[in-house]
Amino acid sequence: MAEEPGKDLVRWRPPRNPLNSPIAAYALVIGMTVGCGALVYSHIERPPVLIEEAAAAAVPPARASISLKLPARTQAPLHFRTLTLAERDDLVEVTPDGLRLPKIASDGWMPWIAYARRYDPDGPAARVGLLMINLGADEALMRRAIDDLPGEVSLAFLPGTPDLPKWMKRAHARDHETYLMMPVDDPGGIGERGIRPIDPAADGDENVRRLRQAMARGEGYVGFVMPAAEQVSRAETVARPLVKEIADRGLALIEIDPGMTPSAMYGLTIELGVGYARTSTVLDYKLARNGIDGNLDRLAEWTGESWPGRPPRHDFGVLQPDNAAIDAIVSWRQRLARQSAVSFVPIIGQFECRTACLARLRAQPDQLRP
C-alpha cells in the first residue's frame, strides 16, 4: 500500500523572535529602570572622586615589621691595668711538662701587682673589703657570684674547678680581683677535685709539686688564699718551701684564721718579701646573732670608727658562696654608698708590704703607682 505523501514530515514553523518572549520583556523593563537611575544619579551633586594617587597619599604607609637593635649596654671601665699579649706571655712560664705557671716578668712586674684591681687611693683612709672563697663547687652559685656581686668583692676559686680559666676570665670581665684557694685539707671547707692536697707529712719538693699543679689551673690571679689549716701554716718546715715558691713567682698570700693563732707563714712573707693580708672576720658564721646583714654593717661601722691621733682601720671579711650571702652583699653595698666614712676596696687594698717586699717592688717602679 502506498504511503501517503508527507505523513512523516514535521510541519514548518517560522522561527521564534526572542524579542517577543516574556523574558525579553522583563529584561527590557529592567534595562530602562537602570538607565533612568543612571541618568538621575549623574545630575546629583556629590564629592569629587579622589584619584588613586591622592587616595594612596592620604593613607600613611604601613610600617615594615623590623627588629630594632637595642642600644649597646654601657659598661663602666674595668679597674685593671691593660696588658698586651706579649706582656701577658711574659708573666707565664711554660715548664717542660707543659704546665703554665705564673712568673715575674723580665721587666720586673710581679703577677700580684700586674693582676690586682685598682681602686681610688684618694678615698676615705679607712678601708673595708670582702672576699668570697671556695668558688667552683656549685656552678650556679659561682656564676651568680661573678655576675651579681659588686666588682669590689674579690673572688677565690678552688683550683679543681672545671673550666677554671673560663670562669676566671669571666670574673675579670666583671671587674673582680681573683685568687686561688691553697690546696689543703680544710676541715671546715670544701674538698678539692682532681688536686692532691698539700700534706704536712710529705717532703717539701712533693708539696711544691702539688702547689704548682694548682697554680697551673688558672691565670691572671693575684695569689693564694690559705684557709685555717694549722698543720701547714704553723709548721715552718712545711710552710717555708710553699711561701718561697709563692715569692719566687711574684704572687701574694692571704691567710684566714678566725682564732688569730701564731702563723709561720706570716713571718716568712716578711722575710721573703711577699705581699700579705690576714683576717679573722668570718661574716657568715652560723652562730652570729645578727646574721650576715648585721655582720656586714658591723664591719663597716668598726672600720669607720675614728678619733684624733688614731690611724685609720683596715679590715676585710670572708664568706662562702651562698644565695643569702650574695643578696646581703648587694643590699649592703647600696647602704654603704650612702656614707663617706670608709672606702670599699678590693683585697689588694688590705695588703701589707714590708721592707723586703717594697725592695722587690722598686725593681719595677711603675708597680708603686696606684
What pLDDT, in 10s, does the model give residues 31-56? 444 444 444 344 444 444 433 443 44
Determine, yes or no, domain membership for 80.
no
CA dihedral 333, 334, 335, 336 (to 10 degrees): 50
For residue 344, what are the β-bridge partners? Answer: 128
C-alpha span between 370 and 368 (Å, rounded) = 7
C-alpha span between 17 and 19 (Å, rounded) = 5
Determine, yes or no, domain membership for 70.
no
Pairing of strands 281-282, 314-319: parallel
Average pLDDT over residues 297-316: 91
Which residue bears the cell 534595562? 31
Average pLDDT over residues 227-239: 86
The alpha carbon of residue 175 and the mean position of all alpha carbons in its chain are separated, in whole angstroms, by: 8
C-alpha span between 115 and 68 (Å, rounded) = 39
Q: 362, 356, 368: which is closest to 268 by C-alpha?
A: 356
Extended beta strands in 110-177, E state: 127-135, 154-157
Amino acid, single-letter form, for residue 44: I
Pairing of strands 154-157, 127-135: parallel
Determine, yes or no, domain membership for 57.
no
**For position 14, what pLDDT does the model report?**
45
When comparing pLDDT for 13 and 246, which is higher? 246
Confidence of residue 197 (pLDDT cuts 50, 70, 90): very high
Average pLDDT over residues 242-266: 93
Q: Quick check: 18 pLDDT over 80?
A: no
Listed in sequence order, the residues at least 6 apart from 199 whose beta carbon sits closer than 8 Å to its beta carbon are: 206, 207, 210
**For position 242, what pLDDT does the model report?**
97
Q: Quick check: 210 pLDDT over 50?
A: yes
The CA-CA-CA angle for residues 104, 356, 246, to 5°, reads 40
* Domain count within the chain: 1
Q: Quick check: 1 pLDDT over 70?
A: no
Determine, yes or no, domain membership for 4.
no
**344 touches 296 (CB < 8 A):** no
The cell numbers describing 126, all together, are 679607712
State percent of the chain over pLDDT 90: 64
Which residue bears the cell 670544701? 190
The alpha carbon of residue 290 and the mean position of all alpha carbons in its chain are separated, in whole angstroms, by: 29
Residues 257-284 as b or e (16 or more Cβ within 10 Å = b): beeeeebbbbebbeebbbbbbbbebbbb
C-alpha span between 9 and 109 (Å, rounded) = 130
Between helix 291-304 and helix 323-336 the angle, nearest 10°, is 40
Average pLDDT over residues 58-67: 45
The cell numbers describing 207, all together, are 708539696
**For position 58, what pLDDT does the model report?**
45
**For position 59, what pLDDT does the model report?**
45
Determine, yes or no, domain membership for 298.
yes
**For position 335, what pLDDT does the model report?**
94
Q: Quick check: 344 pLDDT over 70?
A: yes
Determine, yes or no, domain membership for 267.
yes
Determine, yes or no, domain membership for 162.
yes
Query: Could you tell me the residue range of the domain that residue 260 belongs to?
Result: 85-307+324-368
**63 touches 75 (CB < 8 A):** no
Q: Quick check: 176 pLDDT over 60?
A: yes
Determine, yes or no, domain membership for 6.
no
**206 touches 111 (CB < 8 A):** no
CATH number at residue 164: 3.20.20.370
